[in-house]
C-alpha cells in the first residue's frame, strides 16, 4: 500500500526529497531503499525521526570514520554476503514494495499532464487513493477506524 509519496519535477532525485517523506511517517516505521539512500546524512535523519532505514551500503563504504550504525551494516554485509544480509535485515521485503510502485506506474504512468505542481499533486493523490482501494480492498484506509 502506498502510504507516502512526493511529487517533484523530473530532474529532482529521490535523495533530495528523502527528509520530506519522513515527515508523514510515524516513528518506528521502516524504510527500504536502494544504495542511493545509504548515506550518513540519510541515516542521521532517519535516526532523529525514530525511523529505521534499511539499505545496502555503497561499495566504497569502509568501516573507518563512519557512524557506528553504518559500520555495523558494512561488517554484517561483508561477513554474511548480500543474500544472507538481506534476510537478516529484512531488506528482501523491499522487492515486494517495488512491485507496488511498479504496478502503480504501469496503471497510471510516471508523469501527469498538469502544468502546475498543485494540480500534479492532486492528480497523483487521486491515483494513489484509487490504486490503494483497488489493489488492497480489504485494508481499512479510514484513519478513524
The better pLDDT of the pair 14, 28 is held by: 28
pLDDT band at 116 (very low <50, low <70, confident <90, very high): confident
For residues 5 and 127, the answer to whether their CB atoms sit within 8 Å is no
pLDDT band at 96 (very low <50, low <70, confident <90, very high): confident
Instruction: Output the pTM of the full model.
Output: 0.70
For residues 80 and 88, the answer to whether their CB atoms sit within 8 Å is yes
Average pLDDT over residues 38-61: 84
Amino acid at each position: 500500500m502506498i502510504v507516502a509519496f512526493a511529487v517533484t519535477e523530473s530532474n529532482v532525485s529521490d535523495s533530495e526529497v528523502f527528509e520530506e517523506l519522513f515527515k508523514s511517517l510515524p516513528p518506528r516505521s521502516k524504510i527500504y531503499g536502494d544504495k542511493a539512500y545509504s548515506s550518513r546524512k540519510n541515516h542521521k535523519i532517519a535516526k532523529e525521526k525514530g525511523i529505521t532505514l534499511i539499505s545496502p551500503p555503497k561499495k566504497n563504504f569502509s568501516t573507518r570514520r563512519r557512524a557506528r550504525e553504518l559500520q555495523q551494516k558494512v561488517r554484517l554485509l561483508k561477513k554474511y554476503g548480500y543474500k544472507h544480509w538481506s534476510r537478516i535485515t529484512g531488506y528482501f521485503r523491499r522487492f515486494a514494495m517495488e512491485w507496488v510502485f511498479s504496478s502503480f506506474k504501469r496503471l497510471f504512468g510516471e508523469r501527469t499532464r498538469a502544468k502546475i505542481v498543485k494540480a500534479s499533486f492532486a492528480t497523483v493523490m487521486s491515483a494513489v487513493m484509487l490504486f490503494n482501494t483497488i489493489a488492497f480492498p480489504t485494508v481499512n484506509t479510514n484513519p478513524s477506524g
